[in-house]
Structure 1
Amino acid sequence: MKVIEPISSHFYFGGCDTVQLAKKYGTPLYVMSEDYICERCKEIREDFLKKYENTKAVYASKAFLTMEMCRIIEREGIGIDVVSGGELYTALKAGFPMEKVIFHGNNKTLEEIEMAVKNNVGRIVVDNLYELELLNSVAQAFGKKMKILFRITPGVDSHTHKYISTGQVDSKFGIPLKGNIINEAIKKAIDSSNIELMGFHFHVGSQLFDNSSHIKAVKILVKLMNDMKESIGFITKELNTGGGFGIYYFEGDESKPLRYFTDAIMETIKEECHKYDLLMPTVIIEPGRWLVGEAGITLYTVGSIKEIPNVRTYVGIDGGMPDNPRPALYGAKYEVIVANKMNQEKNSLVTVAGKCCESGDILRYDLKVPKLEAGDILIFKSTGAYNYSMASNYNKIPRPAVVMVSNGIDRLIVKRETYEYLLRNEL
């Protein structure tokens, strides 16, 4: 067999030449590293699940969900958190064990609740009293008893973008600890014939580099556990501490190992439970972005190059806002490289513009690169989370394909959409 030598000027990912991947599958192209995903899962097992008793980990699948991802996560021994009927259906079609699924959402529809109950989802995180009553009636109709957690808004402000901060008092998520709402909710749950309340859930925000928000929230939740034990005799069996662990996107991001967050969470729960003479609950974490964010890259092909003298040079690519809305939504920044010119000097300053009919469709301002030409391949790093899952068909642009790579082998896991596919539901 002929041995193909690596090309030094090309960027390799998961052992694969990304320039060749672009030729084989076309661009834009999402590429995911199975090796990286498995390394993260191993870190979860070694530094959390094996290190501490009575712990569970579930993958927050809204970050990136395909049937192949479900199969990888199941193989790695981790559960899945879903937030919609579509995500639940994906897990079902992939044959994911329903007892390892946690169903979130602030306004689950009747249809979604019926799907969850019918298929025996392991836990439902109840967001409000309306949902509690609806779930109990559905469970009663199906002759089942559903295990739930209440999502609590702990009133903790996290240092992150306001669109991904979720633990503050003024939040669309969860039951606030102001007033008597949570007491009423717990009493209703206990009195509900087809509900078994297991405990509580919180999520303080996303893309966090500091564990102080988690520590504050844990202290608030353990106090709630004690208050509920003393006032109505409710014993908390499970405490879900969410996720939100930050990853590296751009200079200035100081990502931490999982244990930086989980050790602090577990030590605080242990100390607080000892203080209140409470039994340690089963502790659950929900990493999503942390697990897949750095496992993904996106490939684009350079097209037009428009130089405005003494102003700016715009480099047009064949993707943009539809496949990566995060720069427009959050002002997100990414590291960018030229896959076919890795060993060339970066002597040009350009702005990378998407192809949408929107002035805001800019993926990166003021990027230093080698001299670019039409046909060059740009790579945006750390696009594994919230890129494929948030992609749209704006301007009737088909969504990209997704390729999984591992040890130099590539395989297609999501086909590229066609124009015909775009019109499949139109009459």
Structure 2
Amino acid sequence: MNQVVEKWITEWHVYNDEPVCAYIYDLQGIQNHVKKMLETMPSQTNLFYAIKANPDPKIIEALVPYVKGFEVASIGEMLKVRGVSADVPILFGGPGKKDYELEMAIKQNVTYLHVESLLELRKIILLAKKWDRPTQILLRINVRTNSLPKTKISMGGRPTQFGLDEQLLEEAISILRDVENTHVQLSGFHFHSLSNNLHAELHVDMVQFYVQTVKEWERLYSLHVEVINAGGGFGVTYDGTPSFDWQLFTSLLAQNEALQALGKTQLFFEPGRFIVADYGYYAAEVVDMKQSQDQWFAVLRGGTHHNRLPASWGHNHPFRIVPIDRWVYPFARPELINGQATVVGELCTPKDQLYANAELECLRVGDVLLFEKSGAYCWTISHHDFLGHPHPKFYYITEGN
């Protein structure tokens, strides 16, 4: 598929006068990846896509036939999903939900609302009764444990703005069992304790802990749990080391005694990054090369206002050089042979950096850097309109391209 992307880049100037600056999403690659994920999943598990990783409507549309549904964290995200499908299942999570968001989610018949606080729970009960809508919820619980895997981003097992602390569970159940609650049903629990975990064995241990904990709650509080949402957090690397081993994870999960004891309870997973990261490319043309105090800089048409992930995570983002022979100027073409250069963007800030001290055999002004693994949290989290530079173009690879 890289050959398709590179061919498209080399033909850019046949149709465009401006420097190359674009995202290319491999929709067929995403679909094939998800199909392979589904092949190894145990029968009691379901795969959702967390669209915060990349809410592009064409990606959502490509995934509708394959995933169980979508996880959203705002009304804006929910409307994007509903713009593609009127009835696909939706999980609605995230802290700080406003009244109008809860109301719209209830009216739009989201499948499960993830409850983040006691106040939110009370509001949902009030609004569901007001609109006479049966509403199913999952309580997001911040479990009190030190046994969770350690990752760069942690949202559980410590003080956090996410979910209900475990000691509030009894009060939450009491609120739900109040005689005034006639519309809201507790269907299960949601856990999302970490992001970008790379260790399959530890992830299985974590899921086992969730299941065993919920089974104990079922016993203590006489609950009937239909769903355990174990969240996402499946890791992707950007330094060439192996990413999360999905096949190992699902194989170990299928053999796990806790999973086998689930009964009719369904286990949900909601990855985002892991589904789309490897199937997006950010292409940016080198528009200048300059030397400052013995250090070379390659300046792109683009930068962190399009791809903020490397600055946000503090890593060098992997790229390849696509050589472009075109040079229309009457003077010599700036180039760097067998040297180091820091790759920066067009913004007026020294933080606009995508790769520090890259080792280069040959890089010329007019060549294009193709940043791989740019399908997740690259465009979406970027400050698109800083300094008013034009947005990149967007292209999609589908079957037959």
Matched, 1:93 2:80: no
Per the alignment, do residues 266 and 171 of structure 1 end up closer, same or farther by CA in structure 2, a change over 3 Å counting?
A: farther
Per the alignment, do residues 14 and 377 of structure 1 end up closer, same or farther by CA in structure 2, a change over 3 Å counting?
A: closer
Cα pair 2:197 2:203 within 8 Å, conserved: no
Question: Which residues in structure 2 correspond to 1:17-416 (within 5 Å)?
Answer: 17-21=8-12, 24=15, 27-48=20-41, 52-98=42-88, 100-154=89-143, 155=145, 156-161=147-152, 164-177=153-166, 180-191=167-178, 192-251=181-240, 253-268=241-256, 270-271=257-258, 274=261, 279-310=263-294, 312-340=295-323, 347-392=338-383, 393-407=385-399, 409=401
Deviations 1:296-344 (A, max 9, x none): 010001012111353x1011001111111122221032211111269xx
The unaligned stretches of length 5 or more in structure 1 are 1-9, 410-427
Residue identity (%): 25
- Which residue in 1 is equivalent to 2:331? none
Deviations 1:327-379 (A, max 9, x none): 2221032211111269xx97231100111111111110111223322211111
How far apart are the structure 1 equivalents of 2:380 and 2:216?
A: 39
1:287 partner letter = P
Cα pair 1:14 1:407 within 8 Å, conserved: no
How far apart are the structure 1 equivalents of 2:6 and 2:286?
A: 23
- Which residue in 2 is equivalent to 1:6? none
How far apart are the structure 2 equivalents of 1:258 and 1:237?
A: 25
How far apart are the structure 2 equivalents of 1:94 and 1:364?
A: 36
How far apart are the structure 2 equivalents of 1:22 and 1:131?
A: 53
How far apart are the structure 2 equivalents of 1:301 and 1:14?
A: 14
Per the alignment, do residues 79 and 389 of structure 1 end up closer, same or farther by CA in structure 2, a change over 3 Å counting?
A: same
Q: Which range is displaced more, 10-19 or 362-371?
A: 10-19
Q: Between Structure 1 and Structure 2, how many residues are aligned? A: 385
1:289: Cα distance to partner? 0.6
How far apart are the structure 2 equivalents of 1:257 and 1:307?
A: 42
Cα pair 1:323 1:388 within 8 Å, conserved: yes
1:284: Cα distance to partner? 0.7
How far apart are the structure 1 equivalents of 2:242 and 2:274?
A: 13
Per the alignment, do residues 214 and 167 of structure 1 end up closer, same or farther by CA in structure 2, a change over 3 Å counting?
A: farther
How far apart are the structure 2 equivalents of 1:201 and 1:265?
A: 18
1:184: Cα distance to partner? 1.2
1:263: Cα distance to partner? 3.4
* Secondary structure at 2:195 match in 1: coil
Deviations 1:262-302 (A, max 9, x none): 3334544x33774xxx6351011112111100000100010
Cα pair 2:200 2:244 within 8 Å, conserved: no
Cα pair 1:338 1:369 within 8 Å, conserved: no
* Secondary structure at 2:289 match in 1: strand
How far apart are the structure 1 equivalents of 2:150 and 2:14?
A: 41
Per the alignment, do residues 151 and 339 of structure 1 end up closer, same or farther by CA in structure 2, a change over 3 Å counting?
A: same
- Which residue in 2 is equivalent to 1:416? none
The alignment's C-alpha RMSD in Å is 2.5
Per the alignment, do residues 24 and 39 of structure 1 end up closer, same or farther by CA in structure 2, a change over 3 Å counting?
A: farther
1:58: Cα distance to partner? 0.6
Cα pair 1:305 1:314 within 8 Å, conserved: yes
- Which residue in 2 is equivalent to 1:425? none
Cα pair 2:149 2:206 within 8 Å, conserved: no
How far apart are the structure 2 equivalents of 1:327 and 1:15?
A: 22
Cα pair 1:249 1:335 within 8 Å, conserved: yes
Could you tell me the TM-score, scaled by structure 1's length? Answer: 0.83
Per the alignment, do residues 220 and 76 of structure 1 end up closer, same or farther by CA in structure 2, a change over 3 Å counting?
A: closer
* Secondary structure at 1:17 match in 2: helix
1:316 partner letter = V
How far apart are the structure 1 equivalents of 2:194 and 2:14?
A: 39
1:264 partner letter = L
How far apart are the structure 2 equivalents of 1:267 and 1:151?
A: 26
Per the alignment, do residues 402 and 321 of structure 1 end up closer, same or farther by CA in structure 2, a change over 3 Å counting?
A: same
Per the alignment, do residues 272 and 383 of structure 1 end up closer, same or farther by CA in structure 2, a change over 3 Å counting?
A: closer
Cα pair 1:74 1:96 within 8 Å, conserved: no
